[in-house]
Structure 1
Amino acid sequence: MPPRRPLANLWQESAAETFRAPALVEDAEADLLIIGGGYSGCAAALAAAQAGAKVALLEARTIGHGGSGRNVGLVNAGLWMPPEEINAALGIAAGEALTATLAQAPDRVFNLIETHGISCEATRAGTLHCAHGPAGLKDLESRHAQLSARGAPVRLLDAAETARRTGSPRFPGALFDPRAGTIQPLAYVRGLARAATAAGAHIYEHSPAVRLTRSAGAWQADTAGGTLRAPRLLLATNAYHAATGGQPAPAHVPVHYFQLATAPLGDRGAAILQGGEGAWDTALVMSSFRRDAAGRLIIGGIGSLEHGAGIAHRDWAARKLAQLFPALAGTPLHHAWHGRIAMTGDHVPRILSLGEGALALFGYSGRGIGPGTVFGEAAAQALVSGDASALPLAPVEHHSEPAAGLRAAWYEAGATLTHLLGARF
């Protein structure tokens, strides 16, 4: 059973990249003001600074404090749902364009890592989408057909090959995507921030924007220590938007995802994901598992560890570990943490127009690394150049998520019930 201990985020302890920035303590001006120091905000700051813009980024806490530093670390191609569902949500032309753009997202992430020497345990060995049962296998067959028709080099694996790759006999098959990989997610976003600073961007930590307004042709963010003004604005707070006077939070459904990690397993873990892949399953209440560079096994699932029922999630993780890998039954789980995901009703991200020269990016629905990086870079290009044609999605003027609080509670209740009953056999 996992130890009952305060949350300890493994990524904060193991990140090889460090980053520190001062708080804003003066009034300043920039060409582009970015609010939010996650993947989108830092990728945008880097791209805009490299394009010659004067960039200022405000982060309320520290770089990667939100979902970017709590991520599973799977660098996947595309979105969570298959192409035909994306087309149904956006229309064929827009859907196919988005699918094609995000098919290249892992290339962009790993290119940035190489170019800027980001030390983030980058491993491009693909990912395994594992069937949790017969229905899941049918889903993977459909995904394989849709992706293959669009030129993706994915492979559908049988039970034997899946067992060999995962180290577990529990899955009847898996979809292998060689375009994908894994990273240490907090180290990656810190590396982006480091590179952005080297390119000339000004980053301020511990500087929450308490008010955001527009006047005299510029956007102004007020903080406790000073103000920043710029003609162009990118709001990249996603699921961690803090209360800001003058600007409501982009509408989304908050969903939590937790992870627990073993100590380094050494030879005991040699047969688990021996090729270095990351994995997740097709279950409605999905779960994931991967290894890090030190050989720890990290297992995760939907749910929050903050409330009393978080014990159910921790206990489920211990049972799931034993179910997937019987030889590891009883292995202590030494780290436990969770993050918040910004979900949209159709699981498609949004680019929201906030007014003249201002965009908000949000709603990655559990696919923050690749899409977050690509959307951030594209938004920076569009805002700096004034040309929105390169955006991966057309901006919308409004976005709503009816009954977001009730839906969030439903997700958490469903995950808790599933974990109370699951992985017992």
Structure 2
Amino acid sequence: MRDYDQSLWLQTSRERVAAQTLSGDLTVDLAVIGGGYTGCSAALAAAQSGASVCLLEAHQIGHGGSGRNVGLVNAGLWLPPDEIRLHLGQAVGDRLIALLAKAPSEVFELIDAHGIACEPVRKGTLHCAHSASGYGDLCTRHAQLSTSGAPVELLDATTSRQRTGSPAVHGALFDPRAGTIQPLAYAVGLACAAQDAGAQICIQSPVRSLRKDNEGWVLRVNGGTVRAKSVIQATNAYHQDIAITAPDYVPVYYFQYATAPLSHNLRASILPQGEGCWDTGLIMTSFRLDQEGRFIVGGMGNLSHAGGFAHKAWVRRKLATLYPQLADQPLIEGWHGRIAMTSDHIPKITQIGPNALAAHGFSGRGIGPGTVFGRLMAESLLNGDPSLLPVPPVPEYSENWTGLRHVFFETGAALTHFIKARF
């Protein structure tokens, strides 16, 4: 059976980290569980502050959602600003909006500062209207974002079709703050930077248990023990083994397919200014080019699910709709990743114990928010200052009917793609 966990990014990443499995015992100021954007950002910030740090990844760096991401470095969350304020209140909402507005700058500055070879392109993103009603949604978002100080630009259908090269776009919202990266390479590059700053990066080192004693936290790893004053759990949708701190979320799968590298003539007609894109569809579509000119299209769905055939058939149809000139382009086999979705689409920070925090629920917006959340969680714990956190921590967080809602999302995505692949 095809392994849909093996992404294109594994083949094309030029970043490598010289990490080993943890052996023996270790005592540190901060233990970080999880080697994605949040965990690697936390380890880097802590090590740069002079703290002793150990990052523990159960597989390889970027194994989870970070290594299967679309690679869009967006500002903010999926929600428009007014909805964020509605859920969090004015003061907390304004703070989170302001922090995440600067998230792309933080990401690209880290890439520059540490020479991370992750194909960074900061040409903005286009949130594309898939229909006339979708354009109405973009008008609302534009008004709210502009009021909040975001330098976004609303583009009409004609301009959007010129910018994308696609006849299927009904308008777009351009955000110049954003861009694209090779997502796995960015995660690995953060781990390398953390290692250079003094952090110990450990792969193939799953944490089997986590407990608090009178001296601090005790983590059992590969038969050894890590003692830490503070802990950050950054496992998101790929949590394993530690049942008592498992994050509660709705698991949603997102898949991608890529063409072979396009010819120069084809590349010139598709996204000529280099933006990354996603659309306003209820079952969202993303599309972009990578550095080698592969066209990458993605949508919601589990390729290993019974409806996987519908997702695969939809890709070919979607290619022809977006760019008729790509209808016959060969496709590289697809891959998918798991997203931790919260009901309100706002990330959560949970206080899992004294001097111990967990973050999850980026709802598909992992790159910028994960980078910011990881850094601020590390700074908060090392300084003993909860006010530094991007959102107030909660003692616990639960979701209702997560299994049923997962089935609902997956079934809806499969049916949508089945219908659109046929008609």
Task: Compute the TM-score of the two structures, normalised by the length of structure 2.
Answer: 0.98
2:152 to 151, 154, 157: 154
**Number of residue pairs matched by the alignment:** 421
SS of the counterpart of 2:122?
A: coil
User: Who is 1:138 aligned against?
Assistant: 136
Spell out the pairing of 1:160-171 with structure 2 (5 A cutoff): 160-171=158-169
* Match for residue 114 of structure 2 among 113, 116, 141: 116
Partner of 2:43: 45
**1:73 matched residue in structure 2:** 71
SS of corresponding position for 1:30? strand
Q: Does 1:270 align with 2:268?
A: yes
User: Which among 356, 361, 364 is matched to residue 363 of structure 1?
Assistant: 361
Give CA deviations for 1:315-339 in whole Å, capped at 9, x if unaligned.
1011100111111112121131000
Counterpart for residue 261 of structure 1: 258
Q: What is the letter of the counterpart of residue 178 of structure 1? A: P
Q: Determine the structure 2 residue equivalent to 1:281.
A: 279
What is the rounded CA distance, in whole Å, between the counterparts of 2:101 and 2:236 in structure 1?
22
Deviation at residue 423 of structure 1 after TM alignment: 5.1
Taking a change above 3 Å as real, the CA distance of residues 17 and 28 of structure 1, as seen in their structure-2 partners, is: same
Conserved in 1, the CA contact under 8 Å of 2:307 and 2:411?
no
Q: For 1:175, which of 173, 176, 189 is the aligned residue? A: 173
CA displacement at 1:88 relative to structure 2: 1.1
Q: Please report how far the alpha carbon of residue 424 of structure 1 lies from its aligned counterpart in structure 2 after TM superposition.
A: 4.6
Which position in structure 2 is the counterpart of 1:33? 31
Of 43-52 and 90-99, the range deviating more from structure 2: 90-99
- Residue correspondence of structure 1 range 192-341 to structure 2 within 5 A: 192-244=190-242, 247-266=244-263, 267-341=265-339
Amino acid at match of 2:180: T
CA distance in 2, matches of 1:410, 1:330: 32
**How much does 1:6 deviate?**
4.7
CA distance in 2, matches of 1:271, 1:243: 48
Distance between the aligned counterparts of 1:104 and 1:365, measured in 2? 19
Q: 2:411 aligns with which of 397, 408, 413?
A: 413
Distance 1:323 1:5 in 2: 27
CA contact (8 A) 2:128 2:278 kept: yes
Alignment-mate amino acid for residue 205 of structure 2? S
2:34–2:55 CA contact under 8 A, matched in 1? yes
Which has the higher mean CA deviation after the structures are superposed, 218-227 or 67-76? 218-227
Q: Which runs of 5+ in 1 are unaligned?
A: none
The runs of 4+ residues in structure 1 deviating greater than 3 Å are 4-8
RMSD of Structure 2 on Structure 1 (CA): 1.1
1:232 Cα deviation after fit: 0.3
Amino acid at match of 1:383: L
Ranges in structure 2 where 5+ consecutive residues have no aligned partner: none
Indicate conservation of the 8 Å contact 1:323/1:423, yes or no. no
What is the DSSP-based 3-state SS (H/G/I as helix, E as strand, rest coil) of the residue aligned with 2:271?
Answer: coil
